[in-house]
Amino acid sequence: MENIQNRNWPSFIISIKNGQAVMTQKAANAICGSKENFYRLVEEEGYFLPSLKSRAITNDYLQGILTGRYFQFLRNQIQNPPAVKKEWSKIDLLAFIQGRIGQNDLGFGPEKMPDRAFLQKVTYSLDPNLEIFTGVRAEEPLIRLPASFLERLNFFDPYNQNKGNVAFKK
């Protein structure tokens, strides 16, 4: 424990241990003021967080991010995904993320889900080659055609909802 008198810390700080200031809940509430302020302070530390309006954001979750109790995503590690080609449910996105990070506690689950944009950005940052972003399933067979053949064709988006006849069948 650091000696709090040597650093001129305020008297409401009980102790400092491993870079964490210990204080009463009343003192912490006086410092943070509201959940919105607490969210902003955590976000300013460089963490990537779900939307403030999502059910995942609780004071416990924010404190767990700061103390390392929950798995933290840093803002500089997150990549913005392209438009999704295939929709996954929020629970599928959450299951993929949990599978990738292993036994680390995310701090939220099916009962308190983060927003879809957060889940998609984290999923894309973990694996940008997923079918939801590329439109191509990993097990889908690939076909090779000469480029000169393609020059004579009128193109359409193969992932468009209006599907016509297929030339290549499984």
φ/ψ of residue 40, rounded to 5: -60, -40
pLDDT digits (tens, 9 = 90+) for 67-109: 889 999 999 999 999 988 888 999 999 999 999 988 888 998 8
122: Cβ–Cβ under 8 A, 6 or more apart, which residues? 48, 73, 78, 93, 97
For residue 130, the tally of other CB atoms under 10 A from its CB is 20
Q: Name the stretches of the chain with pLDDT < 50.
A: 1-5
Residue 136 confidence (pLDDT)? 64
Question: Domain limits of the chain?
Answer: 13-134
